[in-house]
């Protein structure tokens, strides 16, 4: 039995403890990198799902606004025409039904009910659930009701039900009316032929301009009623989830009513396949929690939370053996190094003991020959035991060397394998005996030249090469991908005498990267297809608006023509008040015709195909200013036009934008002493370039700045300043088509400045 000195045991223990600590640090670092990769991937996937849900909700809002436009242009339509329009419009799978709740005053209640009787609903009555309707000043009854015999738990949406009198919808109705924008009801439970699903009612207020009464200067807005769309959340979430997402992610959509309560609307569980994966089992054993990502969305006066949790298949696809390989290699290396240190200490101790025995024999040489013989025999036996120990240590080293999972071999400078472990031999399709002592050209004939080229570079430079990724062809037509580190070994003179090579099989990791690339390409194809669908929908909406505007021209020409005919044939028989009313009718019809022409211009701008090129905006501004002076030579306006940088855009549309801005400044400086109009460029606080048109005209109140760029919105009386109110709307449309934006600053009586940007 070999006795290990205390110092040897302490050194071996210290080395093993240090190696164990480094192994644990490496294992934890690899686990952390793996966790960060999983969290990054689930965040990316969840952001894609959120974007898809938001696109679907935006599409539903656009659908409801199309219904609102129809209701504004065809106020007073019958139930059959409304049903026909909503049936054609509501083909979105997420929209269960579309409806219209007109605003009915107390004085028109009876007439509206009788009108519904004549329209195919005998016995129609405005009601609030099953109770009689109490007296009120106005009502908003549902006209069509839910489609397909569906119903909603705790809510009556049959024809005649007043949505403003329903406690469940009163908050959303009040919000939509006050804010003049769409609003969402609380979560509802829809019962239909498909079962019970989560749904929500999207409400859109419908306002229309009404002619001002006698003495008024501007038209007023009147609430016509509320358009509504019943949205089902299951189709919305199904459209947002790809097949891969459904299989690997758990998705839950919640409605956050207050800061302390949440209600789940839709829940999708991931498929539990791959749950028996060894890596997944090891991950559960160390207590790793599944990755989770939440995203909050604000839509229609309510807040929604989308929670995405990684499923077993998702986690299993991203886990690797790297942390466990680090742990195994570290433990083996620590054990091997501790054993080598302990063996060295034991051998040193024995050699010291041998020297002491030799010295003792020299002292006793002349006194006792027989004792010397015995000591020599004892030393001979001890030496034999030392050789046995060395042989046993060599066998132990070979055992540990062969249990390392990485491919390890040692080569001399002549490209021969001197030492090979079993992992390396098995990966090349040979045995250890077949490789050791053989040149590389005989073991790996197809890769011998490439391998020796790297080896020769290391031999000549004396520097290691790390992280070499290459494909290795094996016998039988098989190939693997490896990541290799090559370290040189030096002799006492500093010369390279051999190479130690460590190689890891990364074939599975390589295939995972290729699969990720394929999935990325599929996602890009899906995004391109959705973009084509959105463009087609926009073109169809533009064509619809264009046809409606054209159809409005004929009745206006009829009104103007007959009014002129009455004035010519019967004007002398009319009183002064009658002739005045007739003139006002003609003026209003002609004004509306001009507004339709301006609306057509807006439509043409949106449909115009951009032809970008280099454009000098200052040159366009000078051209427009000269035209304004020729058009009105009586006015003396001081133009200050600076030289500005060249931009890239469509010259036709940019000229139209400059014309509208300068004509606006020309119009509102009329009556100003020493009128002045400036055009130039400046820098914004974020370092971008902004162009501006500044005047010292009548200006405006900043509280109304958001109305300037809306079509047909005016801040001044029409008798004071002419125009239809579409010029600045055209400017905003042109700049947004170029990827820019426009804003206005002004003070009443002190002028205005319009800033706009271009990429």
* pLDDT tens profile 156-212: 888 888 888 887 788 888 888 888 888 888 888 888 877 888 888 889 898 887 765
Phi-psi region of 467 (alpha: psi -120 to 50; beta: other; left: phi over 0): left
The rounded mean pLDDT for the chain is: 78
Among 216-230, 300-314, 395-409, 690-704, name the one with the lowest average pLDDT.
395-409
- Say whether pLDDT at 680 is over 90: yes
Whole-number pLDDT of residue 57: 82
Percentage of residues in the chain having pLDDT higher than 70: 79
Question: Rounded CA gap, 153 and 33, in Å?
Answer: 49
Whole-number pLDDT of residue 416: 85
Confidence of residue 259 (pLDDT cuts 50, 70, 90): very low
Q: Which residue has the tokens 């942390």?
A: 323
Q: Which CATH architecture has domain 74-240?
A: 2-Layer Sandwich (3.30)
Whole-number pLDDT of residue 550: 67
C-alpha count within 13 angstroms, C-beta hemisphere, residue 32 = 6
Among 2-6, 54-58, 442-446, 486-490, name the one with the lowest average pLDDT.
2-6
pTM of the predicted model, to two decimals? Answer: 0.42
Rg, Å, the chain Cα set: 43
User: Which residues of the chain does CATH 3.30.565.10 include?
Assistant: 608-757
- Say whether pLDDT at 66 is over 60: yes
Whole-number pLDDT of residue 260: 42
Which of 42-51, 87-96, 365-374, 464-473 has the highest average model confidence (pLDDT)?
Answer: 42-51
Instruction: Report the C-alpha dihedral over residues 518, 522, 527, 532, rounded to 10 degrees.
Output: 130
Whole-number pLDDT of residue 469: 80
* pLDDT tens profile 274-311: 556 776 666 666 656 677 778 888 777 778 888 888 77
Higher pLDDT residue, 231 or 703?
231
Exposed / middle / buried, residue 205 (Cβ in 10 Å: 0-12, 13-18, 19+): buried
- Say whether pLDDT at 590 is over 70: no
Whole-number pLDDT of residue 478: 72
Alpha helices in 74-92, H assignment, sequence order: 79-89
CB atoms inside a 10 Å sphere around CB 100:
25
Q: Which residue has the tokens 């299951």?
A: 234
- Which H or E run contains 529? helix 507-570
- Which H or E run contains 131? none
Residues 501 and 408: beta-carbon distance below 8 Å = yes
Whole-number pLDDT of residue 666: 87
Whole-number pLDDT of residue 156: 82
- Say whether pLDDT at 1 is over 60: no
Q: At 506, is the secondary structure helix, strand, or coil?
A: coil
Whole-number pLDDT of residue 55: 83
Q: At 613, is the secondary structure helix, strand, or coil?
A: strand
Residues 34 and 318: beta-carbon distance below 8 Å = yes
User: Which residues of the chain does CATH 1.10.287 include?
Assistant: 511-606
- Say whether pLDDT at 385 is over 90: no
Question: Rounded CA gap, 572 and 519, in Å?
Answer: 81
* pLDDT tens profile 509-542: 878 888 888 888 888 888 888 877 776 766 666 6
For residue 326, give both structure tokens.
Answer: 């680090």
CA-to-CA dists, residue 619 to 223, 404, 533, 735, angstroms: 46, 77, 39, 18
Confidence of residue 616 (pLDDT cuts 50, 70, 90): very high
| Size of the chain, expressed as the number of residues it contains | 759
Residues 657 and 733: beta-carbon distance below 8 Å = no
For residue 260, give both structure tokens.
Answer: 């302390």
Instruction: Report the C-alpha dihedral over residues 589, 591, 592, 593, rounded to 10 degrees.
Output: 90
- CA 133, distance to chain mean position in Å, is 48
User: Which residues of the chain does CATH 3.30.450.350 include?
Assistant: 74-240
Mean pLDDT of 84-110: 78
Percentage of residues in the chain having pLDDT higher than 90: 4
- Say whether pLDDT at 238 is over 70: yes
Higher pLDDT residue, 587 or 684?
684
* pLDDT tens profile 593-614: 666 666 666 666 666 677 889 9
Cα maximum dimension of the chain = 167
Whole-number pLDDT of residue 706: 75
Whole-number pLDDT of residue 261: 45
Residues 593 and 560: beta-carbon distance below 8 Å = yes
Closest CA to 151 of 122, 187, 193: 193
Confidence of residue 253 (pLDDT cuts 50, 70, 90): confident
Confidence of residue 327 (pLDDT cuts 50, 70, 90): confident
- Say whether pLDDT at 328 is over 90: no
CATH number of 608-757: 3.30.565.10
Q: Helix axis angle, 6-73 relative to 322-363, nearest 10°?
A: 170
- Say whether pLDDT at 568 is over 90: no
Residues 459 and 488: beta-carbon distance below 8 Å = yes
Which of 42-51, 473-482, 533-542 has the highest average model confidence (pLDDT)?
Answer: 42-51
Which of 82-91, 224-233, 304-313 has the highest average model confidence (pLDDT)?
Answer: 224-233
Mean pLDDT of 651-665: 86
Whole-number pLDDT of residue 676: 92
Question: Rounded CA gap, 189 and 255, in Å?
Answer: 13
Residues 39 and 188: beta-carbon distance below 8 Å = no
Among 82-91, 300-309, 450-459, name the one with the lowest average pLDDT.
82-91
Confidence of residue 714 (pLDDT cuts 50, 70, 90): low
Q: Which CATH architecture has domain 511-606?
A: Orthogonal Bundle (1.10)
Phi/psi of residue 39, nearest 5 degrees: -65, -40
Question: Rounded CA gap, 216 and 200, in Å?
Answer: 41
Whole-number pLDDT of residue 142: 87
């Amino acid at each position: 039995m070999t006795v290990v000195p205390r110092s040897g045991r302490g050194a071996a223990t210290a080395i093993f403890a240090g190696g164990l600590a480094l192994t644990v640090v490496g294992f934890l670092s690899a686990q952390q990198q793996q966790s960060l990769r999983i969290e990054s991937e689930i965040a990316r996937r969840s952001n894609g799902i959120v974007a898809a849900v938001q696109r679907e909700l935006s599409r539903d809002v656009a659908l409801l606004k199309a219904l609102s436009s129809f209701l504004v242009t065809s106020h007073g339509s019958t139930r059959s025409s409304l049903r026909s329009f909503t049936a054609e419009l509501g083909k979105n799978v997420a929209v269960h039904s579309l409806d219209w709740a007109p605003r009915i005053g107390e004085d028109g209640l009876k007439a509206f009910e009788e009108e519904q009787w004549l329209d195919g609903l005998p016995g129609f009555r405005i009601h609030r659930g099953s109770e009689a309707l109490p007296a009120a000043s106005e009502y908003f009854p549902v006209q069509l009701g839910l489609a397909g015999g569906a119903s909603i738990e705790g809510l009556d949406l049959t024809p005649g039900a007043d949505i403003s009198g329903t406690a469940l919808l009163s908050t959303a109705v009040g919000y939509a009316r006050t804010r003049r924008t769409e609003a969402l009801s609380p979560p509802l439970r829809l019962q239909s032929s498909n079962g019970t699903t989560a749904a929500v009612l999207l409400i859109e207020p419908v306002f229309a301009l009404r002619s001002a009464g006698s003495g008024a200067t501007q038209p007023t807005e009147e609430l016509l009623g509320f358009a509504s769309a019943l949205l089902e959340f299951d189709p919305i979430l199904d459209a947002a989830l790809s097949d891969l997402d459904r299989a690997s992610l758990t998705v839950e959509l919640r409605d956050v009513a207050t800061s302390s309560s949440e209600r789940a609307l839709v829940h999708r569980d991931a498929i539990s396949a791959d749950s028996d994966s060894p890596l997944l089992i090891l991950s559960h054993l160390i207590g790793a929690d599944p990755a989770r990502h939440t995203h909050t969305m604000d839509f229609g006066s309510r807040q929604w939370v989308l929670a995405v949790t990684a499923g077993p298949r998702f986690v299993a696809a991203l886990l690797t053996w790297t942390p466990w390989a680090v742990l195994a290699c570290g433990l083996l290396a620590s054990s091997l190094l501790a054993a080598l240190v302990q063996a060295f200490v034991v051998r040193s101790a024995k050699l010291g003991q041998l020297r002491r025995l030799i010295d003792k024999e020299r002292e006793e040489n002349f006194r006792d020959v027989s004792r010397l013989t015995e000591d020599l025999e004892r030393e001979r036996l001890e030496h034999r035991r030392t050789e046995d120990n060395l042989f046993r240590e060599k066998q132990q080293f070979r055992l540990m060397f062969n249990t390392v999972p990485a491919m390890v071999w040692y080569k001399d400078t002549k490209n021969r394998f001197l030492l090979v472990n079993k992992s390396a031999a098995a990966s090349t399709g040979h045995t250890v005996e077949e490789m050791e002592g053989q040149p590389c050209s005989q073991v790996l004939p197809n890769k011998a030249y490439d391998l020796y080229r790297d080896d020769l570079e290391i031999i000549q430079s004396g520097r290691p090469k790390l992280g070499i990724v290459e494909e290795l062809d094996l016998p039988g037509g098989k190939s693997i991908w490896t990541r290799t580190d090559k370290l040189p070994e030096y002799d006492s003179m500093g010369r390279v005498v051999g190479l130690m090579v460590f190689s890891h099989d990364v074939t599975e990791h390589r295939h995972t990267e290729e699969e990720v690339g394929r999935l990325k390409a599929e996602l890009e194809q899906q995004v391109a297809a959705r973009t084509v669908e959105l463009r087609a929908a926009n073109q169809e909406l533009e064509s619809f608006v264009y046809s409606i505007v054209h159809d409005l021209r004929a009745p206006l020409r009829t009104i103007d023509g007959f009014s002129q005919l009455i004035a010519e044939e019967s004007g002398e028989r009319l009183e002064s008040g009658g002739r005045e009313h007739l003139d006002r009718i003609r003026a209003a019809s002609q004004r509306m015709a001009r507004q339709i022409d301006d609306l057509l211009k807006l439509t043409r701008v949106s449909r115009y195909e951009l032809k970008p090129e280099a454009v000098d905006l200052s040159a366009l501004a000078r051209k427009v200013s000269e035209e304004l002076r020729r058009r009105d030579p009586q006015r003396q306006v001081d133009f200050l036009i600076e030289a500005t940088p060249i931009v890239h855009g469509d010259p036709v549309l940019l000229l139209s934008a400059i014309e509208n801005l300068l004509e606006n400044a020309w119009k509102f400086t009329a009556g100003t002493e020493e009128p002045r109009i400036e055009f130039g460029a400046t820098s914004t606080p974020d370092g971008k370039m902004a162009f501006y048109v500044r005047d010292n005209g009548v200006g405006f109140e900043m509280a109304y700045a958001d109305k300037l760029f809306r079509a047909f919105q005016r801040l001044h009386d029409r008798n004071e300043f002419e125009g239809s109110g579409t010029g600045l709307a055209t400017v905003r449309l042109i700049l947004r088509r170029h990827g820019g934006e426009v804003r206005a600053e002004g003070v009443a009586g002190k002028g205005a400045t319009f800033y706009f940007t271009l990429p």
